[in-house]
Amino acid sequence: MTTIKEKAKEFTKVDRRDGKLALAHIYVAFIALFIGGLCGLLQVLVRSGKFTLPWGIGYYQVLTVHGVLLGLILTTYFILGFQIAAMSRTSGTFTNKQRSLGWIGFWIMTTGTVAAATMVLLNEASVLYTFYAPLQAHWIFYVGMALVVVGSWIVGLAKIMKYREWRKVHPGESSPLLSFMVIVNMAMWIICSLGVAVEVVFQLIPWSLGWVDKVDVLLSRTLFWYFGHPLVYFWLLPAYMVWYVVIPKIIGGKIFSDALARLSFMLFLLFSIPVGFHHQLTEPGIESFWKFLQVVLTMMVVIPSLLTAFSMFATFELRGRQLGGKGLFGWVKKLPWKDARFAVPFIGMAAFIPAGAGGIINASHQMNQLIHNTIWVTGHFHLTVATTVVLTFFGASYWLLPHLTGRVLTKQMNKLAIIQAIVWTVGMSIMSGAMHIVGLMGAPRRSDFSTYGGAEQATDWIPYQIAQAVGGTILFVGIILILYIVVNLLFFAPKGETEFPVGEVSENAEKTPMWLENWKIWLTICIALILFAYTVPVIDMIQNAPPGSKGYKFW
Ligand code: HAS
Ligand code: CU
């Protein structure tokens, strides 16, 4: 029987057909980055008070395009593409049947994306990326969103089939770490997106078609956040895959512990779903006990991030000392700072320290009263998803794209990639910093420019809004730079072979216990926790539901 190590060697070169499927997803992701990024620039300019949108384009229309394309489309497509490459690399080439499923899913998603985007562009769906009821979009927007979800399930099914096939051929062995992580990531996505699918199919579509005139707002938001919180971990886990599995190889070190990595992924699966109420702490109609319970579970989901921080530091320190780093911090200097594949995701990791701290503030019930619905929250998620996750995805693109296209990253592009990350960091620090501060001063999120009739408090916000515009403009320069590098890697970089780096586990690590991969146990606990956190409050919501709300179109 071939060992995992030998297997991994066999697949350093991507199967062209798998590569094409992965690339198709990645193309859509970067097109979304371009359009979504442009909208971001327009927003910060509008909010500075110095710019008005031309041709009757609405602020909320632009904000919807920005949120949907960057939060939902860029992320989902990049992740699915990355996962396809990761499965193909660590578990072997997809079978024709699995790959066909992948393509079917891709086209369903893409049809949905185009349908939803068209409705937003026609100004029929300016409901933002959370599509909160009672704002009501055109039904085609909701159908489009449903298709994106269904398509992603089919792509996920292809990966699950691949994983099962590997396990069948290798009974009694732990699956390749990266494949295992892909499956946890997908399981989380499938379980949580059931919530938004129920919301869209049973509540929003019939209501927007006029089959029913009222919608239960609280229930719809609860279903949304049952999905919306694990959604953010669906974005984060692929970044963690890069940190745990790829970065050790890039720096020439070893994975600190296979078991610890698996444990942290399983903890994410358990604790990232039953916590949606931390987005609804200020909403009436949910008894405080259930909010408290979900806040406790939210604090539990911090643990696997702390495990990750510990294990990344350990990997870095071990490698730095191996290279001769002395003293308490001498090893830091030994890390490959000039290699964009390491330096760019590292900035992402560093950003996660303040980003995560902000998250803990948000989740604390009392402090949430201060920041909820202020632009502090926008500052928080631009550090988490738009810095930690996105910079890790950019860093991964520098080997993933050439790996898939049969090209290499040149020295100049590597340099430009580091400049890109610095531009991003500067722009984001200014923009997100201003958002955090002015959020504490009460400035609202999801809001067009207004002086509120010259109210003193509102005038105090304006300098920060100008700072946001400065930061946002610098970020847009960052978007141009990354797109330049991406186009180079896709079409112009010199031909050659680039490896998909997959680290080996340290010899000192304990052997991975098999129970870490016992899906029966984990899925049972996962479902039990969801039922525990949601059953009573949801029954309560349905039984004591107010009459419901008609739809509103404020744009
Ligand atoms: Fe959050 C709102 C709580 C993490 C994204 N969050 C949002 C929204 C988004 C988002 C998009 O409880 C807005 C949704 C909307 O539109 O309304 N969040 C948390 C908590 C965490 C957290 C407790 N969020 C994330 C991540 C996201 C994300 C990750 C995307 C990827 N968030 C909230 C709450 C709200 C919220 C409330 C609602 C607010 C409201 O009222 O509306 C935690 O998971 C964070 C734990 C992380 C840490 C950091 C560990 C550090 C690590 C770095 C290691 C680095 C190393 C390198 C070793 C404690 C792993 C060394 C570096 C050196 C510099 C030396
Ligand atoms: Cu959350």
Ligand 1 pocket check for 356: Cβ under 6 Å: yes
Position 327 scores a pLDDT of 81
Closest of 156, 267, 232 to residue 529, by C-alpha: 267
Instruction: Give the number of the atom of ligand 1 that is nearest the alpha carbon of residue 129.
Output: 16
- pLDDT value at 541 more than 90: yes
pLDDT of residue 254: 87
Name the packing angle between helices 16-47 and 390-405 (round to 10°): 150
Q: How far, in Å, from the CA of 121 to the mean position of ligand 1?
A: 31
**Mean pLDDT computed over 499-520:** 86
Average pLDDT over residues 325-329: 83
- Provide the percentage of residues in the chain whose pLDDT is more than 90: 79
Mean pLDDT score, 364-383: 94
Confidence of residue 155 (pLDDT cuts 50, 70, 90): very high
Q: Is the pLDDT of residue 11 over 70?
A: no
Q: What is the DSSP string of 520-552?
A: HHHHHHHHHHHHHHHHHHHHHHHHT--S-B--B
Q: Which residues are catalytic?
A: 229, 233, 380-382, 445-446
The residue that leads in pLDDT, 459 or 524, is: 524
Instruction: Give the number of whichever ligand sits closest to the CA of residue 380.
Output: 1
On whether the CB atoms of residues 106 and 148 are closer than 8 A, the answer is no
Q: 12, 6 in Cβ contact below 8 A?
A: no
Q: Which of 343, 363, 347 is nearest to 429 (CA)?
A: 347
CA of 338 to the centre of ligand 2 (A): 34
Residue 554 has pLDDT above 90, yes or no: no
pLDDT computed for residue 12 by the predictor: 58
Whole-number Å distance between alpha carbons of 528 and 519: 14
Which pLDDT value is given to residue 295? 94
| Nearest atom in ligand 1 to 346's CA | 57
Give the residue from 389, 357, 374 showing the smallest Cα distance to 434.
Answer: 374
Over residues 131-142, the mean pLDDT reads 95
How is 27-93 classified by DSSP, letter by letter? HHHHHHHHHHHHHHHHHHHHHTTS---STT--HHHHHHHHIIIIIIIIHHHHHHHHHHHHHHHHH-P
For residue range 351-361, list pLDDT tens digits in order: 999 999 999 99
Give the residue, by CA position, lying nearest to ligand 1 atom 9.
Answer: 381
What is the per-residue pLDDT for 54? 83
Q: For 79-89, what is each residue's pLDDT tens digit?
A: 999 999 999 99
Cα gap 470→534, rounded to integer Å: 43
SS3 assignment, position 400: helix
What digits encode the pLDDT tens for the residues 258-279?
Answer: 999 999 999 999 999 999 999 9
Say which residues have a Cβ less than 8 Å from residue 339's Cβ, sequence separation at least 6: 250, 414
What single letter denotes the amino acid at residue 443? A
Looking at the predicted structure, is the pLDDT value of residue 1 above 50? no
45 Cα–ligand 1 center, Å: 26
| Cβ neighbourhood burial of 455 (10 Å; 0-12, 13-18, 19+) | exposed
431 Cβ closer than 6 Å to some ligand 1 atom: no
pLDDT of residue 145: 95
φ, ψ for residue 271, nearest 5 deg? -100, -5
Interface confidence (ipTM) of the complex: 0.93
User: How many angstroms separate the alpha carbon of residue 230 from the centre of ligand 2?
Assistant: 7
Residues of the chain with pLDDT > 70, as a percent, come to 98
Q: Is the beta carbon of 367 within 6 A of some atom in ligand 1?
A: no
Report d(CA 157, CA 98) in Å as an integer.
Answer: 8
pTM over 0.80, yes/no: yes
Is 279 a pocket residue for ligand 1 (Cβ < 6 Å)? yes
